[in-house]
Chain A
């Protein structure tokens, strides 16, 4: 980041004579600022660009990646340490092309692969909003990347492989509502950042968009949004999807893990119309697929032992909330019978829910969520494997058995 700061400094000097940059200083149109504030919520800028207990949008939040730790940047209008000297052209170019005003390349942790779809008009509104917030003088913290990832020119290769520039193009065969949903999901919502598998190069292929993947460093599995076997929403009603996105709970299940942050910081603030548009689009992505044969990682004799133990634990620890038949007490206690999230080929999420428990996000639609207790401290690896195997296979569920080793490996998952 130091390099960026230097580059920004020199670029700022070259702008001194130019008047374009200063045109932004005139009182911003209130409606535009308000629209920008809303769109900044849709883009969830605050989640990354604000440190816990830090100044709003002043950056400095560590972002652990497989390549080292990135620190987010100050996007307040401070002239020295923020984006105070940027023009709306430069801001749009950054969103659209992933380049700083001096031509330098952004790390793709900033989801410009999605933000490139944002319209000029919306980009200008977000910029107007960012100009309106209090300027905070807080220098950007240098990134801490390992060799060779600390070489920014590598981003060029990444861009060639994975970045395709261009605003969202409405599909004339679809409704306005569908197109609005697609624009939000693919653009500002940057859902593909997690719901598309990330490969060893930190890239995600467009042809595999929304097909799901393990989120690096966080050890949560972001399920496929296209397969109804995972989080595909083809079988959900629109009401169930909108409840889920806006309040964090629904008759089908509750939001947990990293998605809780998205609902907490972003989706709960979206208008009903926008949430519905996103739901319409997401529902259309879901493709029916016959349940595949379970891919077991444990032998069948081990599996039957697991099941016996698993049922004992389930009846003792889980049934009081989730029901002996796995029907739950929706929306607060999710049903487990027939639950896609539990039967997915990746067992990461159900194992982690048993280990760590969790609260759905507290939202205006569900301000006092019900929490699930953690069991990491009371169940052994064998017991965790047994109870997860049980819920993945009982009541007609078609998940595969999980081993104590898989359960043990996830005990070390970061919790922050």
Chain B
């Protein structure tokens, strides 16, 4: 956007609005004239400010029935901030998100991230994998062990033994639907989703085949929630290789 626009305005004279408030005043009868003249205010909370996120991500980031929109609640704040900044700057491409965030300062994006990171709604019920037993086996293999011969680290080696992520910027992988996970792995492979260099996830995704993506997505979406959902503290384990988003 590089041009000039416009406004939302009302031409209605103020006295007319006061007139509408007349009945309210007569009900209140006493005292609070100053209050009654003040139009209703939006609640001064972060949840209210972020209602724009709710139709796709849920009011507290718990996710919605749309399989392509991810849950945000409980993800590490650093991860969420990185994503919001990447959307704002157009490095992560999804036009509706790029548009919404374009003119918001980074401090506010961090406030948004902290809000969603602090929400702890339960995970949605896991979904049984809609794929063959061989694919399930492949998925489990990649998630837990990786594939040394193809230079593929296990998902768990970075996203944690319980797949709940690590502070400040490695996301958990549970509570997401298969179609979202495979769309994101596809976006990493095709370069429409990128992160700070060295872009570890792009390197990993570049080694994945279509079948790998399908298998990993189906199995991740079928995993039940562990007892403790929070991302583990920073430095709980070492990463197999350097990652720009998570300096060690």
Chain A residues engaging chain B, CB cutoff 8 angstroms: 47-48, 52-53, 61, 63, 190-191, 193-195, 215, 218, 220-223, 228, 231, 235-236, 244, 251-264, 321, 323, 325, 327-330, 332-342, 349, 353, 356-362, 367-378, 414-416
Do B100 and A374 have beta carbons less than 8 Å apart? yes
Q: Is B227 an interface residue (CB 8 A)?
A: no
Q: Which of A190, A193, A222, A342 contacts B8 (CB 8 A)?
A: A342
Q: Is B30 an interface residue (CB 8 A)?
A: no
Across the interface, which residues of A come within 8 angstroms of B17, CB to CB? 327
Q: A236-B9, A258-B4 are in contact. List 19 more A-B contacts (CB 8 A).
A: A52-B89, A190-B4, A222-B4, A251-B39, A252-B9, A259-B6, A260-B5, A261-B2, A321-B42, A334-B9, A335-B10, A356-B100, A358-B52, A358-B100, A362-B105, A362-B108, A370-B48, A374-B96, A415-B96
Q: Is B54 an interface residue (CB 8 A)?
A: yes
Do B7 and A244 have beta carbons less than 8 Å apart? yes
Across the interface, which residues of B come within 8 angstroms of A262, CB to CB? 3-5
Q: Which of B8, B16, B52 contacts A334 (CB 8 A)?
A: B8
Across the interface, which residues of A come within 8 angstroms of B51, CB to CB? 321, 370-371, 373
Do B104 and A222 have beta carbons less than 8 Å apart? no
Chain B residues engaging chain A, CB cutoff 8 angstroms: 1-13, 16-17, 20, 39-42, 46, 48-56, 66, 89-91, 95-96, 98-105, 107-108, 111
Do B55 and A338 have beta carbons less than 8 Å apart? no
Across the interface, which residues of B come within 8 angstroms of A255, CB to CB? 5-7
Do A416 and B90 have beta carbons less than 8 Å apart? yes
Do A252 and B7 have beta carbons less than 8 Å apart? yes
Do A253 and B52 have beta carbons less than 8 Å apart? no
Do B100 and A359 have beta carbons less than 8 Å apart? yes
Cβ-Cβ contact count across A and B, 8 Å cutoff: 200
- A-B contacts, 17 of them at CB < 8 A, read A52-B90, A231-B6, A252-B7, A257-B6, A328-B39, A332-B41, A333-B42, A334-B9, A340-B11, A359-B104, A362-B104, A370-B42, A371-B100, A373-B52, A373-B55, A377-B66, A415-B96
Across the interface, which residues of B come within 8 angstroms of A373, CB to CB? 51-55
Among B2, B4, B105, B108, the one with the most A-chain Cβ atoms within 10 Å of its Cβ is B4
Across the interface, which residues of A come within 8 angstroms of B10, CB to CB? 252-253, 334-340
Do A220 and B11 have beta carbons less than 8 Å apart? no
Across the interface, which residues of B come within 8 angstroms of A222, CB to CB? 3-6
Across the interface, which residues of B come within 8 angstroms of A61, CB to CB? 2
Do A338 and B11 have beta carbons less than 8 Å apart? yes
Q: Kindly state the separation between the CA atoms of A328 and B40 in the bound complex, as whole angstroms.
A: 8
Give chain B nearest CB distance to A57 CB in angstroms.
15
Q: Kindly state the separation between the CA atoms of A257 and B4 in the bound complex, as whole angstroms.
A: 8
Give chain B nearest CB distance to A344 CB in angstroms.
9
Across the interface, which residues of B come within 8 angstroms of A47, CB to CB? 2
